[in-house]
Amino acid sequence: MHGHNNGLKTALLMGTMVGVLALIGYAVALFFNNAFFIWVFAFIGVATVAYTYWNSDKIAIRSMNAYPVTPQQVPGLYRIVEELSSSAGQPMPRLYVAPTMTPNAFATGRNPRNAAVCCTEGILQLLDEREMRGVLGHELMHVYNRDILTGSIAAALASVISSIGQYLSFAGLFGGNRENSNAAGGLLIALLAPMASGIIQMAISRTREFDADEDSARLTGDPLALASALQKLHHGNNARPLNPDDRRVASTASMMIANPFRGGGLGNLFSTHPPMEQRIARLEQQARGMNRF
C-alpha cells in the first residue's frame, strides 16, 4: 500500500529478534552445559510465531474485554469504516468497542479478511467525526500493510525472551551448573537478551506507527485531522492511563494508536510509540505538501 520498504525493514528486524531467541537458547545451553536447550528454544520460537499468526485478533480483543458492535449501535463508526474500506478497495473489518474510558484504538488480525478494529468507549466520546476518520484510517492502514501480524509476533517473541531471561537469571542465583566455566557468559547473554529484544520491538513498532500516520493521511486526504486526534489522545491517555501492571493489556499496548500508559521521563526512550510531537510535526509537514495547512 506504500513505498516505505516496510517489508525489508521488518524482515531484518524480525530476523534479528529470532536471532536473539536463538542466542538466549545458546546461553541456556552454556549455563546447563546441554545443547538440547538450543533446539527447545528454537521450537518455542516457531510455536510462538505460529500460534500468534492464527490467534492475534482473538488475543488482542480478549485482552481488552472488548465486545462486538452492530451498525445500529454505532452507526457513525460503521459508516466511516465502510467508506474508508471502500476507498482502499479492501473488505470491511469486524468492529469492537472496549469498555474503558481511556481514549484509544487498535486494529488486529493476520490479514484484511480476518481483521478487526477496536475503539474504546473513551475515544468515541473524545474525538469528533473528522478526527475519528484520521484515527480509523491509521488503524486500517495497519491492517492493509500487514503491520498487525508483525507487531503481534514481535510482542510474543519479546515476551518469550523476557520470560526466559528472568527464569535463567533466577536459576543463576539458585541453581545451574556452577562448575561450568561458560555459565557466567550464558547468564550475561540471558540478562542482555531481553533488553535487546525490547529495543528491536520498539524499532518495529515506531517504524510502523510513522508509516501508518502517513498512509492514513493519504487515505483520508486530511493529515491535520489525525494530528488533532493525536494531540487529544496524548492528553487523554495521560489523564486516564491504563494499568501497566496488567500483563494482558501490556501485551496489546504496542498495537494502540497512542501509548495507553502515562508518559514522561526516561520511559519515553523505550516506548513502542514514537514521541507524539514528532508524529504531529510529520503530519503537519505532510499537510503543507498537500496544500492542506
Per residue in 16-58, pLDDT tens? 766 777 777 776 676 667 767 667 766 776 677 677 777 778 8
Q: Which of 85-89, 182-186, 250-254 has the highest mean pLDDT?
A: 85-89
List the chain domain ranges: 6-289
139 an active-site residue?
A: yes
> Grid cell 531484518 — which residue?
12
Q: Which range is least confidently modeled, 66-75, 100-109, 248-257?
A: 248-257
Asked if residues 135 and 127 have their Cβ atoms less than 8 Å apart, the reply is: yes
Closest CA to 37 of 171, 156, 154: 171
DSSP 92: P
User: Which whole number is the average pLDDT over 64-77?
Assistant: 96
User: Which whole number is the average pLDDT over 183-195?
Assistant: 63
Q: Which range is least confidently modeled, 53-67, 82-96, 163-177, 259-273?
A: 163-177
Between 71 and 43, the more confident residue is: 71
What per-residue confidence (pLDDT) applies to 246? 84
Contacts of 35 by beta carbon, 8 Å cutoff, 6+ apart: 29
pTM confidence score? 0.78
Q: Which range is least confidently modeled, 151-165, 214-228, 239-253?
A: 151-165
pLDDT at 266 over 50: no
Asked if residues 244 and 261 have their Cβ atoms less than 8 Å apart, the reply is: yes
pLDDT at 284 over 60: yes
User: Helices (DSSP H) in the chain: which residue ranges?
Assistant: 6-32, 36-63, 75-88, 121-126, 129-144, 147-174, 183-220, 223-239, 247-253, 276-289
Catalytic residue, candidates 139, 179, 277, 284: 139
In the three-class reduction of DSSP (H, G, I as helix; E, B as strand; rest coil), residue 2 is classed as coil
What per-residue confidence (pLDDT) applies to 186? 57
Over the range 207-242, which residues count as b (16 or more CB within 10 Å of their CB) and which as e? bbbbbbbbbbbebbebbbbbbbbbebbbebbeebeb
Over the range 187-202, which residues count as b (16 or more CB within 10 Å of their CB) and which as e? bebbbebbebbbbbbb
What percentage of the chain has pLDDT greater than the value 90?
Answer: 45
State the DSSP string of 139-195: HHHHHHTTHHHHHHHHHHHHHHHHHHHHHHHHHHHH-S-TT-TTHHHHHHHHHHHHH
Residue type, 118: C
What per-residue confidence (pLDDT) applies to 29? 72
Q: Locate 92 and state its grid cell.
A: 470491511
pLDDT at 8 over 50: yes
DSSP 255: T
What percentage of the chain has pLDDT greater than the value 70?
Answer: 67
User: Which whole number is the average pLDDT over 227-239?
Assistant: 96
